[in-house]
Amino acid sequence: MKTLGYYNGKFGELDEMSVPMNDRVCWFGDGVYDAGPCRNYHIFALDEHIDRFFNSAGLLKIQMPVSKAELKELLNELVQKMDSGDLFVYYQVTRGSGPRNHVFTDAPGNLWITLTHQEISDGKNPIKLITTEDTRFYHCNIKTLNLIPSVMAAQRAKEAGCQESVFYRPGGRVTECAHSNVHIIQDGMLRTAPTDNLILPGIARAHLIRMCKKLCIPVNETAFTLDDLFAAEEVIVTSSSNLCLWANEIDGKPVGKKQPELLGKIREALIEEFHEATNV
């Protein structure tokens, strides 16, 4: 199969799939999701992603229709049906189906899965960023389906000829990006925002931190500001789709490019880890 869509036990090519209009995702965007890369039919960091997926569902009191082990087995079975083993594996659970009513549906959730072809970037080419005031709600740590602010910020970045938008809160605290985590190298140290309710605890972020510690690079998980961002020695953007990108421009101003050897060391180590984990 070139693409695959799954809904509560049924699957087929994405353009052949449909979902009922009374799924609560249609009324309220009532659900959570997770996703990650697959290479050589091996899903990278799957246990970590599934743990975060179940944590998001638990925080919203969504009844999971499968166990962690069952979901892992299902995902591994579905990727084997694809023509290519280099994939983006996406899954979400909604709160179930029923007449439109704000109170919870008392039933297990609906499980969606999509598989599409995608290859992980090697991160060698720089990207451009813009900054956007973070006007989202205060539950950013939950990977909810309510993504309109992120959609608008991503579109704004595209219209500005950039690849990502960096969110900041009143007072200038940098939080994360529209669909990534953002970090800086400052005085040879990795600075990354703390995992409070203002950012999503990225899986790629966790791998970046572990790798820096393995490479004996100091790590500081405290909030940093826009001033820190623009003055940083390097600016790093991570996500499950792009494990280690670097920025050379923000809001039209040049940034980073002061620690290229350190940046290259981190990036190459992360890509090597990904390749080793997905060689089967």
**Residues that are catalytic:** 143
Q: Assess contact for 220 and 190: CB atoms under 8 A.
A: yes
- Give, in order, the Cα–Cα distances in Å from 270 to each of 1, 7, 119, 241, 274: 30, 33, 15, 13, 6
HSE (side-chain half, CA atoms, 13 Å) at 123: 25
Residues 63, 68, 70: CA angle, nearest 5 degrees: 100
Which token pair is 183?
């970090």
Give the chain's largest Cα–Cα span.
57
DSSP 233: S
Residue with tokens 């605290």: 173
At position 82, the amino acid (one-letter code) is M
